[in-house]
Amino acid sequence: MEELLERLLEECRPYTTAGKAADYIPELAKKDPSALGVYVIGSEGKHSWAGDCRQPFTLQSMVKPILLLQALLDNGACAIQSKVGVEATGKPFDAINAGERTLDSRHINPMVNMGAIVMCTLIHGSSYEERFQRLMKLTGQLVGDDTITIDQAVYLSEKSHGSKNRALAYLLKSHGILEDDVEEVLDCYFRACSIQVDCRGLAHMGAVLANRGRLPDSNRRIFPAPLARYVNAILMTCGMYDGSGEFAIRVGIPAKSGVSGGIMAVVPTRMGIGIYSPALDQKGNSVAGIRLLEKLSQELYLSIF
């Protein structure tokens, strides 16, 4: 397996020059665009890796399935779906999903910014500090590391460049979907996006979802199986932004990307995969990362279709 990962990594390295690192906040633009790493954790706990798989980066949109999972745990699936929908929007992740007079909950989903912001308001807690701490605890279990922290520089950078997210949040508030203080909600969201992980953590999270809620090492259940199926399904249809349809055809597994260049992929019953390569395509997905997953899927017949 290690040999295979090394070979595919070398084959995909040229693609790191075919995209560019996110630059909407200065902190992300500082990352080395030539980095490339992959980490695989099998359902039974076997680890394999290659390349820059221990470099730290922030979760960004990859925190969205975690926000969804915590909101599902706290409220149940019905309550979530009454607030936001689950359909692909056919639009970029930060789109203004509003018509002239209406904001249709069916056009928001937990994998786009609007929906993820709503998830923050659905996590239980007496304060936003408490909500965030509960999210951190779940995140720690998912990535298999309870020492995770947030990247302060990225967090502050997000916070000071967050006009688009503020617009989305105030729009939600004007339509009565968000009731709490916008700045407090967004602070929680910006902190969540700034949680620092590495490929190993992403692979661990993928393995927990692949095992439908059980930890790969101990097999201990940390959340019910139906919630894993829920999250995996929405990752399949909406996890790769408006590139999800093509990813389903080319790779064929549930996955979530982030603008930091990470991809967290789930091969149900088989393995979790973590990828890092910050050069992005126009949709915000890692170019070399998708290519690597495509090759891995072909070699190991990972597609679920």
289 binds a second copy (CB under 8 A): no
User: Interface residues for a second copy in 23-82 (CB under 8 A)?
Assistant: 77, 81
Do 52 and 289 touch, CB atoms closer than 8 A?
no
State the minimum distance, in angstroms, from the CB of residue 271 to a second copy.
14
Q: Would you say 196 or 244 has its CB closer to a second copy?
A: 244
117 binds a second copy (CB under 8 A): no
Q: What SS3 class is residue 145?
A: coil
C-beta neighbour count of 267 within 10 angstroms = 27
State the minimum distance, in angstroms, from the CB of residue 293 to a second copy.
14
State the minimum distance, in angstroms, from the CB of residue 85 to a second copy.
7
- The CA angle 110-206-19, to the nearest 5 degrees, is 75
Give the position of tokens 């779906």: 81
Q: Which of 70, 109, 139, 211 touches a second copy (CB under 8 A)?
A: 109
Distance CA 66, CA 300 (A): 27
Q: Which of 23, 44, 246, 299 touches a second copy (CB under 8 A)?
A: 246
In the stretch 154-193, what mask flags binding to a second copy with x, by CB under 8 A? ---------xx-xxxxxx-xx-------x-----------
Residue 219 labeled ligand binder: no
10 binds a second copy (CB under 8 A): no
Do 137 and 73 touch, CB atoms closer than 8 A?
no
**Longest CA–CA separation in the chain, Å:** 56
State the minimum distance, in angstroms, from the CB of residue 163 to a second copy.
4
C-beta neighbour count of 300 within 10 angstroms = 14
Residue 158 labeled ligand binder: yes
303 binds a second copy (CB under 8 A): yes
User: Interface residues for a second copy in 258-277 (CB under 8 A)?
Assistant: 268
Distance CA 18, CA 265 (A): 22
Distance CA 200, CA 264 (A): 10
Nearest to 298 by CA among 248, 245, 257, 252: 252
Give the position of tokens 């789930």: 266
Residues with a catalytic annotation lie at 61, 64, 189, 241, 259
Q: Which of 14, 26, 76, 90 touches a second copy (CB under 8 A)?
A: 90
Distance CA 153, CA 173 (A): 28
Beta bridge partners of 266: 272
Distance CA 22, CA 142 (A): 25
245 binds a second copy (CB under 8 A): yes
Residue 189 labeled ligand binder: yes
Instruction: List interacting residues with a second copy (CB under 8 A).
Output: 77, 81, 85-92, 95-96, 98, 100-101, 107, 109, 163-164, 166-171, 173-174, 182, 228-230, 232-234, 236-238, 242-246, 248-249, 252, 254, 268, 303-305
Known binding positions for substrate: 61, 113, 158, 165, 189, 241, 259
